[in-house]
A and B are shown apart, each in its own frame.
Chain A
Amino acid sequence: MWQVFRYEWRTNRRSFFIWAGIIIVFQMMFAGIGDMYTSNTSLLDALKQFPPALLEGFGMHVEMFGSFEGWMAGEPLVFYMMLLGIFAAMWAASTVARERDRGTVDFMFTLPASRGQLFLGKACAHLLAFFLIAAVSYGVTVWFGHLFSTVADAGLLLTYSIAGLLAALAFAGIGYVMTVFVTSERTGMSLSIGIVILSFLFHLLSGMEKSLAWMSDISLFTVFNGKDLFDAGSLPWEGVFITIGIYAGGLLFGWLVLSKRDL
């Protein structure tokens, strides 16, 4: 499995650096401009005129903008969850789909390793990638926060990072389900982006009207609400179980289907 892990890393190296770069730059930017944003009173006044549901959708709570931690729990966390979620779902969806699409399935799956070993070896490589991006993102957030603002509670920022990581794991779980059914890497990629955006849209729309409230139940963006994290200062256990459950369930499902499926 270790060899598969190495191979997957080598194969996805470029994609990893691109996505890591994008997510880290976003975090740097949000951490760097936080003070400029939150100290702009006319902007804050203008925001108060916006429909609360729309602000909620983007995680903007003006009352939280009094601190760097409050700012980072808003819009930056939503974007972080979205980008890391897309990255995770895309990588997971490509696990088998890429091998099929590129015709390398005959090579990979005739090696003396079980399909389960190949699948889990790849999933381990993905997991490390998600962890690394989350860790570096957290590091640059704290660093830029110290440089351009005032970080009062680095532990709270870590909570946000873990929340984003857990949401990404849930999206990866969905990707592992998809990967055994789609035969094109591009299809897997498109579906991954679509599912994350749709999840965000459900989160956005759920607050618009009462009749749409049910949408929040099927959105992974609702599992970790920035305001709740900021207020509680910790992760809700329910959210932790849901996201890890989806991840583990997706992995298990993908593994079982793959072991029975023609390639």
Chain B
Amino acid sequence: MNAIKLSNLTKRYGSQRGIHEVNLEVQQGEIFGFIGPNGAGKSTTLRTIMQLIRPTSGTVELFGEVMNKECPDVRRRIGYLPSEVHYNEELTGKEVLDFAARMNGLLLQHTTAMALADQLKLDVSKRVKSYSLGNRKKLGIVQCLLHKPDLLVLDEPTSGLDPLMQHTFFQILMEQHERGATIFFSTHILSEVEKLCSRVAFIREGRLLRVSDVDGIPGKDRRIAHIQFKQQGNCIEAYRLRNIDPNAVYDGMEHRLVLQGDLHLALQRITAHELRDIRIEQPSLEDLFMAEYDASGNGGNHSQEQAGQSTQAGQLRERTGEQSSQTGHLHERVVEKPKQAGHSREDAVEKPKQVGHSREDAVEQPTQAGHSRERSDESEGGEA
């Protein structure tokens, strides 16, 4: 049974775009990632699911029930965490939780709220106005979990949480998942999706571009290396860095290379020279999807996609070069996850022939057809 089913969901704000014919199914018990750049329509989709906004056309089904009228009882089964958490500033955290619990027909002391607050190191006796952004987020997390919902709808849940708290939060999410909760969340961060999700959907400019298994995320094994050699100046030619990445660049401070394929070999080549500093990042999910999307001619055919490999890397570099601060907190994950042997992206994902019309058109389910991108990646890695 589907926990969420969106059928041709469209929302327009006058002449402005919201979302356009979004088709999506999230099965019960699934952890589903929802990805897209800012303004892509993620929050609009989530807010439509939560009945905060009414769709212009199309339907939202939750637990098999069509949400064509207000369904507060269905909301009792949902925990919603907005991207920006706001509560009445005059209330204490405990008062907020008490109110939320009572609205769900529970008494706060009979819920897991206080245990969750302890787990997240949140002092609920303080007023909301004294909370930092992170503490507000924690309060939001506790509030949306306290009634043990069957479905969690989370809009960028880790933004504002420090890495330690993110870890705790993931533990909590896994516990929720183990008890059978469905989790649908939007994020920018690849590591979150890799850790948690079984499937992921990518939305851009209000259109759902693809739904993919996590293993089929395009180029998720890519890493961006920022390197300073002891040798001053541009070393691209001297160290033959273009053999590692044909689009290697030097910005006057550091060399930037996109590594893919055989990472071990690429690093061996790099570390053959004396290093002053090296930083390796994961690209953000949007970068990966967008690079591929742009390279394939905005949803063009597969051969274009293949032909655009090096172009993708270049676009990825442009994006990640601009946004390295966004992905900087992922440094600790340096090359810890090698590519999964034998997995074909093509097996997991197919690009829609025509972007965003009916679900059948926009998002195709995995097929066995096509050759393996892995081989393509490997051959590029092999050049290194």
Contacts and interface: CB of A to CB of B under 8 A. Distances in A.
Interface of A: 3-4, 6-7, 10-11, 13-14, 102-107, 109-115, 117, 259-260, 262-263
Contact of B82 (A7, A106, A111): A106
A259 B102 CA distance: 23
Interface centre among B50, B51, B88 (most CB of A within 10 A): B88
B70 A105 contact: no
Interface centre among A109, A112, A260 (most CB of B within 10 A): A112
Given A107-B86, A110-B78, A112-B104, A263 B52 contact: yes
Given A103-B84, A104-B87, A106-B80, A112 B52 contact: no
Nearest to B43: A106
B52 A102 contact: no
Nearest to B89: A102
13 contacts: A10-B91, A11-B90, A102-B86, A105-B52, A106-B47, A107-B87, A110-B78, A110-B80, A112-B72, A114-B72, A115-B70, A260-B54, A262-B54
A111 B103 contact: yes
Contacts of B251: none
A6 B101 CA distance: 13
B50 A110 contact: yes
Interface in B14-64: 47, 50-54
Interface in B73-102: 73, 75-76, 78, 80, 82, 84-91, 95, 99-100, 102
B53 A106 contact: no
A10 B91 CA distance: 8
Contacts of A3: 99, 102-103
Interface string B148-159: 000000000000
A114 B52 contact: no
Nearest to A262: B53
Contacts of B88: 11, 102, 104
A120 B85 CA distance: 25
Contacts of B53: 262-263
A263 B86 CA distance: 15
A107 to B, nearest CB: 6
A97 to B, nearest CB: 14
A222 to B, nearest CB: 38
A109 B53 CA distance: 10
Contact-residue size bin, chain B (C-beta under 8 Å from the other chain): 20 to 34
B75 A112 contact: yes
Given A3-B103, A107-B143, A262 B52 contact: yes
A196 B86 CA distance: 31
Contact of B86 (A4, A14, A106): A106
Contact of B72 (A106, A113, A263): A113
Interface string B349-362: 00000000000000
Contact of A111 (B54, B75, B84, B86): B75
A212 to B, nearest CB: 40
B129 to A, nearest CB: 11
A188 B288 CA distance: 45
Contacts of A14: 90
Given A106-B52, A109-B52, A11 B91 contact: yes
B103 A113 contact: yes
Contact of A114 (B47, B54, B70, B90): B70
Contact of B75 (A4, A7, A110): A110
B130 to A, nearest CB: 16
Contacts of B73: 112
A106 B70 CA distance: 15
A102 B91 CA distance: 13
Given A106-B80, A106-B82, A106-B86, A7 B99 contact: yes
A74 to B, nearest CB: 39
Interface string B100-144: 101111000000000000000000000000000000000000010
Nearest to B88: A11
B142 to A, nearest CB: 12
B25 to A, nearest CB: 22
Given A4-B103, A112-B76, 4 more contacts: A3-B103, A6-B99, A111-B104, A112-B73
Contacts of A259: 70
Given A105-B52, A262-B53, A263-B52, A112 B89 contact: no
Nearest to B81: A106
A99 to B, nearest CB: 9
A106 B73 CA distance: 17
Contacts of B90: 10-11, 13-14
A48 to B, nearest CB: 51
Contacts of B47: 106
A10 B95 contact: yes
A131 to B, nearest CB: 23
Contacts of B86: 102-104, 106-107
A263 B90 CA distance: 22
Contacts of A113: 72, 103
A112 B146 CA distance: 13
A174 to B, nearest CB: 25
Contacts of B84: 103
Contacts of B76: 112
Nearest to B11: A262
A113 B102 CA distance: 11
Q: Which 4 A-B pairs rank lowest in CB-CB distance, beginning with the nearest?
A: A103-B86, A112-B76, A106-B82, A262-B53
